């Protein structure tokens, strides 16, 4: 059995006041202990998140990190800095970083190596654009994104990782993949990992992301290979996020 994971991706949203209110609401609602609950916050709020979540059992993470260890990299944040605050997770290769900030598979693979070497949990995002889906290239696209990391880091590095399938056309659009569409891609991703290492594949949490809401989470999470969700917009409202966490426990 895989432990379900629900990770909130706040993206570039929040103020000190809204972070405080949101985390108070999430803590008060007590996400189920059988679900690994994570919130991924913008960098400046990480110390605030650390303090607010201390002792709560809710984990927290960043949305990106540098592949470099330290030094002359203006504007970057290292894995060691995240660890200094007790950060446990890092989202890597989100489609917004791929499309808006020109991140590519080789650089994402380097970040994956840096994060896993430090013992943090990467949440590696893969997903196709609408154009790629309509061209019938979904399987090929997500497999290429996944294999770039496996070839660089080795399949064993996936043992402590989380994979997230996020169709680009479903992110922030209100257009969710159907459970059948998502399950098909999740099963294909797991089968591809199994070709490299069946035991790693069996234990790998694969999250679905893309317009997951309180009212569609349960049917997605009921699918065999969907082990939880990566939640954008709905993670900014405590009640919605909690309902999604509860759907993952059911
Ligand atoms: P969304 O975002 O839930 O707002 O579609 C998901 C994500 O980008 O991780």
Structure tokens, 82: 């995240």
Q: Is the pLDDT of residue 1 over 90?
A: no
Band (164; pLDDT cuts 50, 70, 90): very high
**Taking CB atoms and a 6 Å cutoff, what residues make up the pocket around ligand 1?**
9, 166, 171-172, 209-212, 230-234
User: What is the mean predicted confidence (pLDDT) over 208-225?
Assistant: 98
Q: Tell me: the pLDDT tens digits for 236-245?
A: 999 999 999 9
- Catalytically annotated residue among 36, 67, 89, 94: 94
Instruction: Please give the structure tokens belonging to residue 167.
Output: 């169709």
Residue 150, classed as helix, strand or coil, is: helix
Mark residue 119 as left, alpha or beta (left: phi above 0; alpha: psi -120 to 50; beta: remaining): left
Q: Which atom of ligand 1 is nearest to the CA of 235?
A: 3
CA distance 69 to 78: 6
> Two tokens at 65?
């990190």
CATH class of this structure's domain 5-249? alpha beta
**Ligand 1 center to residue 216 CA distance, Å?**
13
Q: Which ligand 1 atom minimizes the distance to the CA of 11?
A: 8
Question: What is the per-residue DSSP string for 198-246?
Answer: HHHHHH--EEEESS--TTTHHHHHTSTT--EEEESGGGGSHHHHHHHHH
């Amino acid at each position: 059995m895989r432990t379900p994971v629900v990770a909130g991706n706040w993206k570039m949203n929040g103020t000190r006041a809204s972070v405080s209110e949101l985390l108070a609401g999430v803590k008060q609602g007590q996400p189920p202990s059988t679900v690994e609950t994570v919130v991924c916050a913008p960098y400046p709020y990480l110390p605030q998140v650390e303090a607010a979540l201390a002792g709560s059992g809710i984990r927290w993470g960043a949305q990106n990190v540098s592949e470099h260890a330290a030094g002359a990299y203006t504007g970057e944040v290292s894995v060691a800095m995240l660890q200094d605050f007790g950060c446990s997770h890092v989202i890597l290769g989100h489609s917004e970083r791929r499309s808006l900030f020109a991140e590519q598979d080789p650089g994402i693979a380097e970040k994956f190596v840096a994060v896993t070497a430090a013992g943090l949990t990467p949440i590696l995002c893969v997903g196709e654009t609408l154009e790629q889906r309509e061209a019938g290239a979904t399987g090929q696209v997500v497999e290429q994104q996944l294999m770039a990391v496996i070839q660089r880091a080795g399949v064993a590095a996936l043992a402590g990782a989380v994979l997230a399938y996020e169709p680009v056309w479903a992110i922030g659009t209100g257009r969710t993949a159907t459970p059948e569409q998502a399950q098909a891609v999740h099963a294909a991703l797991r089968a591809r990992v199994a070709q490299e290492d069946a035991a790693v594949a069996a234990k790998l949490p694969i999250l679905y992301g893309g317009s997951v809401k309180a009212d569609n989470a349960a049917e997605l999470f009921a699918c065999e290979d969907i082990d939880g969700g990566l939640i954008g917009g709905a993670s900014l409202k405590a009640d919605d996020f909690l309902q999604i966490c509860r759907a993952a426990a059911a």
